[in-house]
A and B are shown apart, each in its own frame.
Chain A
Amino acid sequence: MDKKLRKIVIAGVMGGISIFLGATRLGFIPYFSGASLTIMHVPVIIGAVLEGPIVGLATGFIFGIFSLIQAAIAPTGPADVWFVNPIVSILPRLFIGPVAWLVYRAVRNFREIPAFVGAGIAGSLTNTVLVLGVLGLYRYLPWKLIGTIAVANGLPEAVLSAVLTTAVIASWRRIETRRGGSSV
């Protein structure tokens, strides 16, 4: 199987998943009173772990562009006002994949499963920190508030991303996570 073609297709498929989760709002998991945790960045992380940083970059780019378009054409809240700015929506997202991949490679020498967890957390935090960071630099939000959001929203989101990333890749690569058989 042609490696390059495989990377292209995986990038495309993961990009499609990201768009799909965003467009149907299935990727918005309601958290507490109004706020939600999002998982649209998880396909970016998975793509990066499976196929490398360039795939992560491409998928992150698609994620970013789509979040801009969605903010412009179908906005639903104040966040969309900020996301029409590509520096908020596209630039930070380019880093999700490469960072996740780096962490994956680093932890992989230790063990596989923690590597997936690490990649999930790192990728998610990259998204949170960079996006909020840009919002702060633009002075769209006061830093105090940004800190609160980062902790209250960003940390659980990182955990969720780690769990989802690990579950998907372990299932795909047929890696045993716990037991060697059914739990029945």
Chain B
Amino acid sequence: MAGSGVAIDVKRLFHAYFPGTAMEVPSLKGVDLRIEREETIGIIGPAGSGKSTLLQHMNGLIRPRGAGYGDVVVLGLNLSDPSIDMRTVRQKVALLFQNPEDQLFERYVGDDIAFGPRNLGLSKAEVRERVQYAMDMVGLPFSFKDRITEDLSGGEKRRAALAGVLSMEPEVLVLDEPTAGIDPQGRRHLMEVLGKWLSRAGRSMVIVSHTMEDIAELADRVYVLVSGQVLLHGSTAEVFSSYGLLKKYGLGIPTAVEITRFLKKEGFEIPPGVVRVKQAVQSIQGILHGRKI
């Protein structure tokens, strides 16, 4: 599943807020993380573990403070290098914050989605193309571009916000709690959009979420971040099988894993690596059919 090359490489990253003052708050204490191309990484961890800070390093909103604070290399560009063009980094790595619908600021939907491409200095025709492409990706009809942003429903707003970021045509999509606060149908739709986006070559994705089902469904590998350090990482199945460790830090596991765990305890045969709902359904159906025989 991993493609050619590394998209984002984080090495021994340290970060503190208000460094050198009486209010210094360390947030990252030596994080190592790697995202390959065509890979989706999930990052989970309890509140305050530094997830947001880590994400903000990925598109350069925060940069390593200096020597000894670690390195962040994004698509070949080292963020400690003062001469690199941050605009390029922000275009290639798109970061969508939590509750992005709160950040829509333009009067008309089309203008908000066009904000990114316009910042890239594209021509009017190119901007229009990008907006069309992005709206199509998220399933918003192009006619919505003239709607007043305020008047959209919550789900539509979130899609518009996502379109605003997809219109930059990034290579890496970084999402902070993408499904927080939306209804199941909205979530379903969003997952489809993300899957569709991922299917094109060369793209990677990073998801931070408390909804383990999202991670199970989309992520190839998972990092568990606790108190600014990587506690555990591995394939999705591996990480979610460390039930005890996750529970100790207040993290949950996907329902599918929970159920199959229980079934395994009761003596039923479940193949390894079941994390997704569909997989669990198949295993359970297998058991039921087996019984009939």
Contact = CB atoms under 8 A, between A and B. Distances in A.
B148 A184 contact: no
Nearest to B145: A182
A78 interface: no
B108 interface: yes
B36 interface: no
A115 B131 CA distance: 35
Nearest to A182: B110
B122 to A, nearest CB: 12
Q: Which applies to chain A's interface (DSSP): helix, strand, loop or mixed?
A: loop
Interface residues of A, number: 7
Interface in A127-184: 171, 174, 180-184
Nearest to B130: A184
B229 to A, nearest CB: 33
Interface string B109-125: 11101100000000000
B282 to A, nearest CB: 45
A180 to B, nearest CB: 7
B128 interface: yes
Contact of A184 (B107, B110, B150): B110
A102 to B, nearest CB: 29
A126 B114 CA distance: 38
B192 interface: no
Contacts of B127: 184
Contacts of A171: 107
A171 B131 CA distance: 22
Contacts of A181: 108, 110, 145-146
A78 to B, nearest CB: 30
Contacts of A184: 110-111, 113-114, 127-128, 131, 145
B2 to A, nearest CB: 37
A101 B146 CA distance: 33
Interface string B235-250: 0000000000000000
Contacts of A174: 148, 150
Nearest to A176: B107
A19 to B, nearest CB: 21
Contacts of A183: 108, 110-111, 114
A171 B112 CA distance: 14
Nearest to A170: B107
B131 to A, nearest CB: 5
A180 B146 CA distance: 8
A182 B148 CA distance: 9
Contacts of A182: 108-111, 114, 145-146
A76 B145 CA distance: 46
B173 to A, nearest CB: 22
Nearest to B127: A184
A94 to B, nearest CB: 33
A181 B107 CA distance: 9
Contacts of B145: 181-182, 184
Nearest to A183: B111
Interface in B121-175: 127-128, 131, 145-146, 148, 150
Contacts of A180: 146
Interface in B56-109: 107-109
Contacts of B111: 182-184
A171, A180, A181, A184 pick with most chain B CB within 10 angstroms: A184
B18 to A, nearest CB: 16
B185 to A, nearest CB: 27
Contacts of B110: 181-184
Nearest to B109: A182
A183 B148 CA distance: 12
Contacts of B107: 171
Nearest to B132: A184
Given A183-B110, A184-B113, 5 more contacts: A180-B146, A182-B109, A182-B145, A184-B110, A184-B114
22 contacts: A171-B107, A174-B148, A174-B150, A180-B146, A181-B108, A181-B110, A181-B145, A182-B108, A182-B109, A182-B110, A182-B111, A182-B114, A182-B145, A182-B146, A183-B114, A184-B110, A184-B111, A184-B114, A184-B127, A184-B128, A184-B131, A184-B145
Interface of B: 107-111, 113-114, 127-128, 131, 145-146, 148, 150
